Amino acid sequence: MTSENGFEEIHVLWISEGMSCDGDTVSVTASGQPAIEDVVNGLIPGLPKVHLYNKVLSPTVGGEEFLAPFRAAARGDLEPFIFVLEGSVPNEKINGDGYWSSFGNHPDTGEPLTLNWWIDRLAPRAWAVVAAGTCAAYGGIHAMAGNPTGCMGLADYLGADFRSAGALPIVNVPGCPVQPENFMETLTWVLRHAAGGAPPPPLDDMLRPQWIFGRTVHEGCDRAAYYEQGDFAKDYNSPKCQVKVGCWGPVVNCNVPKRGWMGGIGGCPNVGGICIGCTMPGFPDKFMPFMDTPPGGSLSSMMIKPYGAFIRRMRGITNDTLNREPKWHHDREVLTSGYDPRWRP
């Protein structure tokens, strides 16, 4: 259904049968601003009415009842819809005599319908296509070196030039799992765009929302002052900068230390977890072994050490001074504050 400017109702078809752990769906249920319930219940002004089909959040008993809207959309009988993929896309051209991943069976033959079969039919008809999590965006853990499935991200499968029926590129919201509000905020922007109330979401060249992934972990980290002072943790029990125990934050695009994980709390390095670059196209291979010092981290931490040690000492002296009250705060029988009666009006 359309209004003058955009859609009044829209379907969200969410398939998590990519190579995944379903962690992105679970993560998104924790979103508070906005909550997925608020979007589905129409509590966010300016959005179309949303019909969500996600197996974890489905009120159906599953089976054909759950599959019905997906089958209808694949036939072209359900629109408009946003197609959300969770999990990486296996290469069914190299599946031997079997298949890597399926979603329902063919009603006539009973043969499994592969994820790729669904993508081929849903993606071109979708008003927008959204990749939830790093696996769907860039392949993620399943696509690491040595994997047997040849799996990949959605843009690898559909092509970087893919455009949806709504003329949008794929919208990637990476994270392993995706940070709840990062996903819901992006989906809300896409929905607002669908309603005709917002321009398309601005994306970077890896198809990520620019306003979410434009800064590094390091630029938002609670521990960044320790880095600047050349004060580094030697183990995971320390509150200091973790670059020497495996943190890749200075070169990773992610807002989690600023945003937190749930309700603003957490955010990997803030709470003692090294950043392993889970939002990045090069994850995980380019960040392994996870707990070793990143190669660039050795050099930068070595260079900042003498500067940081000097600055830390100077700040210590100043801090000591500032922790003392001015010398004229006393109860002797003489005023030493510098008060000069000549300046009285």
- Residues of this chain that interact with ligand SF4 (CB under 6 A) are 175, 217-218, 221, 223-224, 227, 241-243, 247, 249-250, 252, 254, 256, 268-269, 275-279
Q: Which residues of 67-93 are buried (b: 16+ CB within 10 A; e: fewer)?
A: bebbbebbeeebebbbbbbbbbbbbbe
H and E: helices and strands count for the chain: 11, 7
Backbone angles phi, psi at 254, to 5 degrees: -170, 145
Which residue's beta carbon is nearest to the bound ligand SF4? 249
The answer to whether 193 is annotated as binding is no
The answer to whether 268 is annotated as binding is no
- In the complex with ligand SF4, the residue whose CB is nearer, 122 or 252, is 252
The answer to whether 151 is annotated as binding is no
CB of 252 to ligand SF4, least distance (A): 5
The answer to whether 221 is annotated as binding is yes
- In the complex with ligand SF4, the residue whose CB is nearer, 123 or 245, is 245
- In the complex with ligand SF4, the residue whose CB is nearer, 123 or 221, is 221
- In the complex with ligand SF4, the residue whose CB is nearer, 43 or 309, is 309
The answer to whether 21 is annotated as binding is yes
Element (H, E) at 52: strand 49-53
Cα–Cα distance between 111 and 289 in angstroms, integer? 41
- In the complex with ligand SF4, the residue whose CB is nearer, 36 or 221, is 221
Please answer whether residues 285 and 144 qualify as being in contact, where contact means their C-beta atoms are separated by less than 8 angstroms.
Answer: yes
CB of 181 to ligand SF4, least distance (A): 12
CB of 304 to ligand SF4, least distance (A): 11
- In the complex with ligand SF4, the residue whose CB is nearer, 176 or 190, is 176
Task: Identify the three-state secondary structure at position 171.
Answer: strand
CB of 178 to ligand SF4, least distance (A): 9
Angle at 72 between CA 67 and CA 75, to 5 degrees: 125
CB of 176 to ligand SF4, least distance (A): 6
Angle at 49 between CA 168 and CA 132, to 5 degrees: 45
Please answer whether residues 38 and 180 qualify as being in contact, where contact means their C-beta atoms are separated by less than 8 angstroms.
Answer: no
Cα–Cα distance between 117 and 123 in angstroms, integer? 10
On the 0-12 / 13-18 / 19+ scale of CB atoms within 10 A, 272 is middle
CB of 279 to ligand SF4, least distance (A): 4
Q: Going edge to edge, which strands form the sheet with 128-132?
A: 49-53, 9-15, 81-86, 128-132, 171-173
- In the complex with ligand SF4, the residue whose CB is nearer, 81 or 248, is 248
What is the dihedral sign for C-alpha 40, 43, 44, 48?
positive
CB of 317 to ligand SF4, least distance (A): 24
Binding residues: 21, 135, 176, 218, 221, 241, 247, 275, 278
